[in-house]
């Protein structure tokens, strides 16, 4: 089953130091992909909205996708937001809260230079624009390697920072690098999140709101026949 949650990383063109070019979707390609979705009759919802709908209906809404971005890069504002606005498309951004306002290599691939993250002011402004902010932990540590107290600290710190900035309940979560185990999953639920995402794979069969896979959109999907093929399985 194709996940209606689309996973993007960076909306930008890769710089020469970049090792994992696949994580870069050029802005023009992103615009074309949104045009295809809109033309094909898809609506756009946030992760939190999808979770709320699922709780009521026992399934996700038909012909609806949730665009998500991991890591909270500045390009989400510079390049993605104007295109999202053009298509009236909602989106959810998962922030690494210790990185807010910084240019760091904490979450770039090995050997890549530092890259700029969204700032606190950006998050406030984009919230007013209808963007939902979820947690991607405070320092992007892989949860299956932490003890419960460390996991709780990562979850609570990031959730508090986000709620303080957005003045909204922070309900959505994405596991750093997609890694989790049963203990981490329970901590995420106990921390008050309503929906949590892995990267691509999930263990379960039916949808489990705390280990949802996503449909990863990569640089090669700038070739629109590939993108169309990727979303062809959406109901």
Q: Kindly state whether residue 211 participates in binding Zn ion, applying the rule CB under 5 A.
A: no
Tokens standing for residue 76: 């989400």
Residue 175 CB, nearest approach to Zn ion (Å): 9
Tokens standing for residue 7: 């996973």
Residue with smaller CB distance to Zn ion, 12 or 37: 12
DSSP-assigned beta bridge partners for residue 115: 104
Q: Which of 149, 151, 143 lies closest to 176 in space, CA to CA?
A: 143
Phi, psi for residue 153 in degrees, rounded to 5: -65, -45
Residue with smaller CB distance to Zn ion, 8 or 210: 8
Q: Which stretch binds Zn ion (CB under 5 A): 23-31, 37-45, 62-70, 147-155?
A: 62-70
Q: Which stretch binds Zn ion (CB under 5 A): 64-72, 124-132, 182-190, 226-234?
A: 64-72
Select the residue interacting with Zn ion from 71, 122, 187, 216 (CB under 5 A).
Answer: 71
Residue with smaller CB distance to Zn ion, 4 or 176: 176
Residue with smaller CB distance to Zn ion, 87 or 179: 179
Residue with smaller CB distance to Zn ion, 48 or 72: 72
- 111: Cβ contacts below 8 Å, ≥ 6 apart: 17, 19
Select the residue interacting with Zn ion from 24, 34, 68, 70 (CB under 5 A).
Answer: 70
Instruction: Please give the full DSSP string across 188-214, using - where no structure is assigned.
Output: HHHTT-SEEE-SS--S-SS--TTSB--
- 38: Cβ contacts below 8 Å, ≥ 6 apart: 87, 89
Q: Which stretch binds Zn ion (CB under 5 A): 65-73, 75-83, 146-154, 201-209?
A: 65-73
Residue 64 CB, nearest approach to Zn ion (Å): 24
Residue with smaller CB distance to Zn ion, 71 or 75: 71
Tokens standing for residue 224: 């629109």
Residue 55 CB, nearest approach to Zn ion (Å): 26
Show the CA angle centred on residue 212, arms to residues 53 and 215, nearest 5°.
100
Residue with smaller CB distance to Zn ion, 60 or 137: 137
Q: How crowded is residue 138: how many other Cβ atoms within 10 Å of its Cβ?
A: 20
CA 213 to mean position of chain CA atoms: 11
Binding residues for Zn ion, total number by CB under 5 A:
2
| Alpha-carbon distances of 155 from 6, 108, 144, rounded to whole Å | 23, 21, 13
Q: Which stretch binds Zn ion (CB under 5 A): 71-79, 80-88, 111-119, 186-194?
A: 71-79
Site for Zn ion, rule CB under 5 A: 70-71
């Amino acid at each position: 089953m194709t996940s209606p949650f689309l996973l993007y990383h960076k909306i930008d063109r890769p710089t020469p130091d970049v090792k994992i070019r696949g994580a870069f979707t050029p802005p023009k390609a992103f615009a074309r992909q949104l045009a295809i979705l809109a033309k094909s009759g898809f609506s756009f919802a946030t992760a939190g909205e999808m979770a709320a709908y699922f709780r009521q209906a026992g399934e996700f809404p038909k012909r609806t996708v949730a665009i998500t971005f991991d890591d909270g890069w500045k390009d989400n504002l510079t390049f993605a937001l104007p295109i999202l606005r053009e298509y009236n498309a909602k989106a959810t951004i998962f922030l690494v809260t210790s990185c807010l306002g910084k240019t760091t290599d904490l979450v770039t691939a090995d050997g890549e230079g530092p890259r700029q993250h969204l700032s606190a002011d950006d998050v406030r402004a984009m919230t007013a624009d209808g963007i939902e902010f979820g947690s991607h932990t405070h320092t992007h540590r892989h949860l299956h390697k932490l003890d419960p107290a460390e996991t709780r600290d990562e979850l609570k710190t990031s959730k508090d920072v986000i709620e303080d900035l957005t003045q909204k309940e922070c309900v959505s979560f994405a596991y750093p690098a997609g890694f989790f185990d049963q203990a981490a999953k329970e901590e995420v639920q106990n921390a008050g999140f309503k929906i949590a995402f892995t990267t691509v794979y999930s263990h379960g069969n039916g949808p489990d709101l705390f280990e949802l896979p996503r449909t990863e959109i990569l640089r090669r999907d700038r070739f629109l026949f590939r993108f169309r093929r990727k979303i062809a399985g959406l109901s």
